[in-house]
Amino acid sequence: MTISFYKYQGTGNDFIIIDNRETMNGHFSSKEIKHLCERRFGIGADGLMLLGNAKGYDFSMKYYNADGREGSMCGNGGRCMVKFAYDLGIHRPTYKFLAVDGVHQAEIDLNGIVRLKMKDVEQVNYIGDHFVLDTGSPHYVKFISDVNRYDVVKEGQSIRNSKKYFAEGINVNFVENIDEHTIFVRTYERGVEDETYSCGTGVTASALMAAHNDTGFNQVDVSTLGGKLSVEFDRIDDNKFTNIWLSGPAEFVYKGEVGLKD
């Protein structure tokens, strides 16, 4: 079987995307997805996504981790999916699409920046020197100094595979405050089982925990290994955040065809 695919990236977080509206190739095995995402033997990506039809919405998004298993919400993946939809000719002032964690809205500005509305956060667990919260995917957030020199893979892997988180997995973010409005985030991602250049839901979780205003509107600029993003949100209290928007570039890389064994 030969399939057509597209490659997109958002601040270095890269994805294989397949237009599944007509062909309905929605039954890839975990083994096939893992193979396609392998960087030496397949196409190479942090994840694979299917764009599908959904009644009442502009499209649906189905996301698989690089390990072949269906994943939770991916923020950079969502932004790339919106740009892919635009490139396919689906043009909207405001997009409305369906993902695993519910309905999302999105916009594309004149410079090609994709702004994606994330799910509200209604609970934050404050545990010693770190925070745990769900921004569409579960995240562990720890503030440290000199994140550039930190062994993110070793420390992130240790936390992700700890007894507490091993079964369900968790994404682990190490965050450094750069100035009053800017943070630098590095993330070890479950499903990829490695550090990625950027993680949209991780950037979102880290920005929420870096909020400086007691309540009301906040904007946090975020640097990652793959580029810059920003997160805007309203802070209700220590546990509740709403009107959360993740913004940044999402870019087409290339398209091609790949064969899979029948």
pLDDT tens digits along 213-231: 888 999 999 999 999 999 9
How confident is the model over 134-160, as a mean pLDDT?
97
Asked if residues 222 and 106 have their Cβ atoms less than 8 Å apart, the reply is no
Q: Decide if pLDDT at 242 tops 80.
A: yes
Task: Verify whether residue 199 is a known catalytic residue.
Answer: yes
**Single-letter amino acid code for the residue at 24:** M
Q: Express each pLDDT in 178-202 by its tens digit.
A: 998 999 999 999 999 999 999 999 9
Single out the catalytic residue among 73, 74, 183, 205: 74
| pLDDT at residue 260 in the model | 83
Tokens encoding 209: 């925990």
The CATH number of the structural domain formed by 2-117+250-259 is 3.10.310.10
Two domains, one topology: 2-117+250-259 and 124-245: yes
How confident is the model over 169-176, as a mean pLDDT?
97
Single out the catalytic residue among 49, 199, 205, 222: 199
Tokens encoding 77: 């993946």
**Domain chopping of the chain, boundaries:** 2-117+250-259, 124-245
**Cα separation, 165 vs 52, whole angstroms:** 32
Task: Verify whether residue 74 is a known catalytic residue.
Answer: yes
The CATH class of 124-245 is alpha beta
